[in-house]
Amino acid sequence: MRGFHSFLILLVLLPLFSCESVSKKEGTIETFSNFGGDPIEKAGYRSIPNEIIITMVPKSLDNPVFLEAKEEAERTVRQYGAKLEWLSPMNTQAEEQERIMESLIRRRVDGIIVSCIDAERLTPFIDKAVETGIKVATFDSDCPSSKRLFYVGTDNYDIGWASGLQMLKIIKEKGRLHEPLKALLMTGSKQSLNLNERLKGFQDALAEAVDIEYQAVLECNDDLTLAGELLEAYMRSEEGIDLFFSAGGWPLISPVDSLPNYQKWREEGGLAVAVDTFYPIIMAAKKGMADSLVGQDFTMMGRWSVEHMIEAIHAKPLNQSKFYTDLEYADRSNFDKLLQTKEPWEIK
């Protein structure tokens, strides 16, 4: 698993050797632009190549869920003749993300699109950037109390609610609706607003229909290896858990063979729902590691984030401050069909 994990990190960093790049203490910058000689006309805009610099700041470089947003943002920015930087901490660390924001403010980039690790801590940095004239938006994880212009991504309470309804459906199908149940939850960071909203939505969806007691919330810090280790350790040491909900797909990216205790729990009737429908997660679910998945659209996050940021930089009024992407549902009825539409991360 650690080897695969390292491969994904290398995959994110590989463009540094073929594109204009610079390494800094805060993280890694990748720049993507159109180097043609003619201005590009798009939606009524004309801009000189490399004139506009937009920086996307995901939560971390070692979380592969951002790859689809990155790739689509690269494709989209070229259509406008602008430049895209992808700058992030290596792993999910709020203080590193704050340092990155400080560096972008000093450089006076044109636009920042950030997935907030800790919304409360990042608010003053976003506000400072806006006050200096930088257009700031959020994607994936919002910072609604800040002066950011807009958010692009999942309605995170809604995806949590949808996951809860999927779990409720499974509980009914198994004839366990009137039993007292014990649940285990997993999150990335307990400071991340988007993940907290998912957990709340999940719990609210079940609250009126099921007698449920939540035993623990495992915090994996968006680390795929740690997620599997935490889940295995809990299943090995604790008994009586009836259902498991993960606010992200972290533990299901681990090889099935690395989770023997969890696998045994599933075979003995444990119920599981998780967020995300990437190829390895659907494969894990198909092999019995989850009953149902609810996915996000990171491709649209990448596209809309760039498009609306270009609009904002060109002073075009936005008709809303939140742009929600669609949800995707996966269970045994469509695992095979969805796998045909997904690209394995191993060959990305």
**Whole-model pTM?**
0.84
Angle formed by the axes of helices 67-79 and 298-313, nearest 10°: 40
Q: What is the pLDDT of residues 19-67, one digit of tens each?
A: 333 333 334 444 433 323 333 334 444 344 457 999 999 999 888 889 9
Residues in the chain: 348
Residues in the chain predicted with pLDDT less than 70, given as ranges, are 1-50, 346-348
Query: What pLDDT does residue 164 have?
Result: 98
Q: Is the backbone of residue 192 left (phi > 0), alpha (psi -120 to 50) or beta?
A: beta
What integer pLDDT is reported at residue 63 of this predicted model?
A: 83
Q: pLDDT value at position 251? A: 95
Three-state SS for the chain is: CHHHHHHHHHHHHHHHHCCCEEEECCEEEEEECCCCCCCEEECCEEECCCCCEEEEECCCCCCHHHHHHHHHHHHHHHHCCCEEEECCCCCCCHHHHHHHHHHHHHHCCCEEEECCCCHHHHHHHHHHHHHCCCEEEEECCCCCCCCCCCEEECCHHHHHHHHHHHHHHHHHHCCCCCCCEEEEEEECCCCCHHHHHHHHHHHHHHHCCCCEEEEEEEECCCCHHHHHHHHHHHHHHCCCCCEEEECCCHHHHCCHHHCHHHHHHHHCCCEEEEECCCHHHHHHHHHHHCCEEEECCHHHHHHHHHHHHHHHHCCCCCCCCEEECCCEEECCCCHHHHHCCCCCHHHC
| pLDDT tens column, 162-197 | 999 999 999 999 999 999 999 999 999 999 999 999
C-alpha to C-alpha distances, 290 to 4, 23, 272, 286, nearest whole angstrom = 21, 40, 5, 8
Place of tokens 């009024």: 317
- Chain mean position to CA 12: 15
From CA 321, how far away is CA 153, in angstroms rounded?
Answer: 11
Which pLDDT score is estimated for 346? 56
Q: What is the pLDDT of residue 92?
A: 87
Structural domains of the chain, with CATH: 2-154+297-317 (3.40.50.2300), 156-295+330-347 (3.40.50.2300)
